[in-house]
Every structure is written in structure tokens, then in C-alpha cells.
Amino acid sequence: MTGKVILVGAGPGGRDLLTLRGAEVLQSAEAVVYDRLVSPDILELIPQTAERVNVGKENNHHPVPQDQINEILVRLAQEGKQTVRLKGGDCYLFGRGGEECEYLLEHGISFEVVPGVTSALAVPAYAGIPVTHRDYCSSVHIVTAHARAGKPLDIHFDALVQTGGTLVFLMGLSALSEVMQGLLSAGMSPDMPAAVISNGARGNQRKVVATISTLYDAVRAAGLKSPALIVVGRVCELHSALDWFTPLPLHGKTIAVTRPKERIGTLSTKLRALGANVIECPCIETQEIEDTALLKYELTDRWDWVVLTSPAGVSAMVHALQRAGYDLRALYGMQFAVIGPGTAQALAAYGIEADLMPDVYDGAHLGQALVDALDPKERVLILRSAQGGSELTAKLREAEITFADVATYETVYRTDQGDLLRTELANGTLDVVTFTSASTVRGFVEAVGDLDFQAFTALCIGQQTAAQAQSYGMQVKIAKTATIDSMIACLLEE
């Protein structure tokens, strides 16, 4: 059976500007053909089992020619795969989406188009520039300033100037001088406000606002780079008064988040809401240990306490019970101790409230809290990572408390963003790396290799994580309590 091709506009920036429908079809895709400017955090939505094809188009350099992209789409559909063609911005606005749909139609391939948020509207909004305003103008005109190689710009400047509306030029940074000169030659006032916005709608967004006679020199002096767009019109006068994005407290900060993929969203979302440019780079993943005779025995033996040290441990416990043919009723009568609020929340999702949680969220303090709370005859079952530290068990051993330390999952060091991290480090553009466990530190180091670890701040969730970061020579900041909110508060104190 022939598959279907769905063209999806990925929007101008990160996942927060991807449409709900776009995210839905991306998460069920069997193959994804994507462009260079699609944000890495959107690519994280692609299923692990899906085939990925990077066609990486950029200005004047097309690694995969358009006719070959068309053929790839047809081939994948003919293989019976539901294929997503993921394009930056909107599919039908200078994205050659119409050409691709025509080609699919000619070859009998069914298709769907999911519109995206276009940078022509979103980026000016993030820069404090409304493209229309009843006191300034009543029209907006979107123009491509990208010419075919060796060809002049095909722009009717006289007509554009006559409209009196806002002009938005996409893909125009390399032709900025030519565009400004074209407007001046067509009679536009040299004092007309104009702006260039680079990396729009992202935490590392930059803008330069001048006039059409001075903009080129101002942009060169500021060193703005692609991707960028040009806005021309009196509405640019509002850029300061209506700028809501730049004043955000973490704007301009590039922050890497290293949590496991299934846990990364909460921290990333909160950082983006504060204006940060977030790089999602899960440096560890958890792999549950399949049932063994020992594990089945331990889970169904009668214990007084079950100790869980991470949300992954909660999931692994439930799944291990299910694989063994049991459910949570097998744990009836047992009490539960957790290392911190995140683990308590994960446990509560299954209808179980934690009985014990230390004031300081680490293994040593959890161990001491257990020693203080337990009757010496009570027995403890610890369910955690195979790479768990010794601080917890050392406290129980010193108090001569009977316990079993059972590994229900393993922590594997792995990331798909190693190249991106190394580039950011080499360029000196990485400001902060967040670490929520010692294993995320080790995973990060394994991903990037032997680089300068003093070029950024290591924001650590607790003392044990900080100690691991310091062992690699990192400069650390430590959250006052081992929570995501406390880590963010630590950043905001700067």
C-alpha cells in the first residue's frame, strides 16, 4: 500500500511555535525528510524507529537538489511509509512546497499540508514590531530577497514603495545592500525606519534598527548573521516600546539541558519561557533491566520499606511488576521512601504517596533519614540504577539495617547532539550546562570529549552532582534545594 506524504511547517524557531497538528503527525511518522533550519528540539519528536533524511538546504548551497528531494518523497511513499516533509517556517511561503505537492500529484501520491507559523510574522513580533498597525500602515508585503545564483534580484521596488505598507524581506541578509539601494532608488525616504533580526524567535535573537540609508553599515558593525530577515516601515519605530522578548531575564543565554529525553521537557520549557536559547541534549538514557528470577523474588518478598531514588526507578518498578504478572497490590503494606519531590510526584501518579523524603535530596541524607525512622528489625528494598552511588547503602550498612540493593535499570551514556555541543563549546557560545545527576555530568563529558570545561557554568542540582562536575574542572553553581525550580532560581540570582 502506498504511503502518504505530509508537508509540515516547522515554524521559525523551537518546539513552542510548532503547531499541535504538526507535532502530532511528526510523532507518528515512519520517515521524515527535513531541512537545515529545523530546530533540534523539534527533531527530538521524531520516533526512534523512523527513517531520517537530512536534505539540509541553505543559501547558495543545496546538498540535496530539489529534484532529488522530490524523488526521495515519492520513493518513501511508494515504500508504504507515512512520510513527513518537515520544512522551516511555512510550507507554502518561499518553501517550494507547492512544487513538491505538484510532483507528488503527478506520481499519484496522496499528500496533506500542515501550515506553519511563518517567520515573516513571528520574528518581527518577537522583536517588538507589529507588521500592521492602524496608526502606521494597513498592509504588509512579504518578499523573497533570495536570487538564483548569478541572477539579479527580481523585486519591483517601485511598486513596493508605492504601497506605503510594511515590507518584510526573507532570506535577504546577503542582499541587504542591494535591497536598501533598490528602495532608495525607488524614492523611499532615506529616513524610513528599518530592522534586521537575526536568529528570530530564539533565545539568541539579535536585532539592529536603523534607517534604510544606514542599516547596511549598522548590521555589518554588529556582525549579524543568517538566518535573518529585514523589516522596513514606520512600524519599526515601535521596536523598543513593544519589545517583550529581549527583557526576559535569560534572553541571550545559551543553556544546554542534559536530562534524559523523557524528563527534559519541564526544565527546557521553563528556561525558554524566561528567554533562554535552550539546547536539548539528553546525555543519558535509561534502559530497564529485564526480569530475572532474583528481581521477581525481591519484588514479591515481604519488605517493610521500598526505596526509590529517581522517577525512572518508579517506572522500572511498575514495569517489572507487570512483566512478572503482578500489579501494585503486590506491594500492599509496604512503606515508600523517595529521594526528592520529582520521585515523589512520579510515585503519586500511580496512587502511592511517599512516606519518607529527606530534607536534602541526595543519597546520604536519604540513608540517614531511613536510619532515623526505621525500627532496627525492619527490612529495606532499594530499587535503583545499576550505577547508583554508595552513600545511601553505606548509611544503612553502618546502622546494620537489612537491605537488598536491586538494579531495575541501567544508565547509558548517549546523545545525538555531541557535534552541536562541541561546536558551541569551540565557539564559546555555551553559557550554562544544567546537570541533574552525576550521571548526566559523566554523559556530557563522554559526549564532548576533552574540551575546555571552564568555558561555561555547570548548574548542578545538588552537592553530589557538583562534586562530579568539579572533578572535571568545571565551574559550578549549586541549587539551594534539589529541584528544577531551585536550579532556575539559582540562574536568576546572577
Q: What integer pLDDT is reported at residue 418 of this predicted model?
A: 85
End-to-end C-alpha distance for the chain, whole angstroms: 58
Task: Identify the CATH class of 254-283+414-492.
Answer: alpha beta
In angstroms, the Cα distances linking 303 to 294, 331, 379, 408 are 15, 8, 6, 17
4, 16, 35, 207: which is the annotated catalytic residue? 35
Q: What integer pLDDT is reported at residue 295 of this predicted model?
A: 59
Q: Could you check whether 254-283+414-492 and 288-413 share the same CATH topology?
A: yes
- Domain spans of the chain? 5-117, 121-238, 254-283+414-492, 288-413
Is this model's pTM higher than 0.85 or not?
Answer: no
**pLDDT, tens only, 32-68:** 999 988 988 899 899 989 999 999 855 445 579 999 9
Q: Does domain 288-413 have CATH number 3.40.50.10090?
A: yes
Residue with cell 557560545: 429
**Facing residues of 403 across strands?**
380
Q: Which residues of the chain have pLDDT under 50?
A: 59-60
Q: Give the CATH H-level superfamily of domain 121-238.
A: Tetrapyrrole methylase, C-terminal domain (3.30.950.10)
**What DSSP string describes 204-254?**
T-EEEEEETTTHHHHHHHHT--SSEEEEESGGGGGTTTT--STTSTTTT-E
41, 57, 207, 395: which is the annotated catalytic residue? 57
Q: Which residues contact 150 (CB under 8 A, 6 or more apart)?
A: none
In angstroms, the Cα distances linking 456 to 155, 273, 354, 384, 427 are 45, 21, 37, 31, 12
CA triple 67-72-78, angle to 5 deg: 125
Q: What integer pLDDT is reported at residue 298 of this predicted model?
A: 66
**pLDDT, tens only, 193-233:** 999 999 999 999 999 999 999 999 999 999 999 999 999 99
In 3D space, the residue among 232, 242, 148 whose CA is nearest the CA of residue 197 turns out to be 232
Please list, residue by residue across 288-314, b when 16 or more beta carbons sit within 10 angstroms of its beta carbon and e when fewer do.
bbebeeebbebbeeebbbbbbbbbbbb
Q: What integer pLDDT is reported at residue 57 of this predicted model?
A: 54
Q: What integer pLDDT is reported at residue 452 of this predicted model?
A: 83
Q: What integer pLDDT is reported at residue 36 of this predicted model?
A: 85
Sheet holding 457-460, edge to edge: 277-280, 254-257, 432-435, 457-460, 475-478
Residue with cell 532570506: 171
β pairing state of 475-478 and 457-460? parallel
Q: What integer pLDDT is reported at residue 52 of this predicted model?
A: 96
Q: What integer pLDDT is reported at residue 294 of this predicted model?
A: 52
Q: Which helix (DSSP H) or strand (DSSP E) does residue 427 occupy?
A: helix 418-427
- Please tell me the CATH code under which domain 5-117 is placed: 3.40.1010.10
The answer to whether residue 57 is catalytic is yes
With contact defined as beta carbons under 8 Å apart, do 308 and 317 qualify? yes
Q: What integer pLDDT is reported at residue 18 of this predicted model?
A: 97
Q: How many helical (H) and strand (E) elements, i.e. helices and strands, does the chain have?
A: 18, 20
The answer to whether residue 35 is catalytic is yes
- DSSP E strands, 240-325: 254-257, 277-280, 284-288, 305-308
Q: What integer pLDDT is reported at residue 286 of this predicted model?
A: 87
Q: What integer pLDDT is reported at residue 323 of this predicted model?
A: 83
Residue with cell 541533574: 436
Q: What integer pLDDT is reported at residue 40 of this predicted model?
A: 83
Grid coordinates belonging to 59: 543559501
Residue length, the chain? 494
Average of per-residue pLDDT values in the chain: 92
Q: What integer pLDDT is reported at residue 291 of this predicted model?
A: 63
Grid coordinates belonging to 82: 507515512
In angstroms, the Cα distances linking 78 to 17, 55, 292, 458 are 31, 19, 43, 48
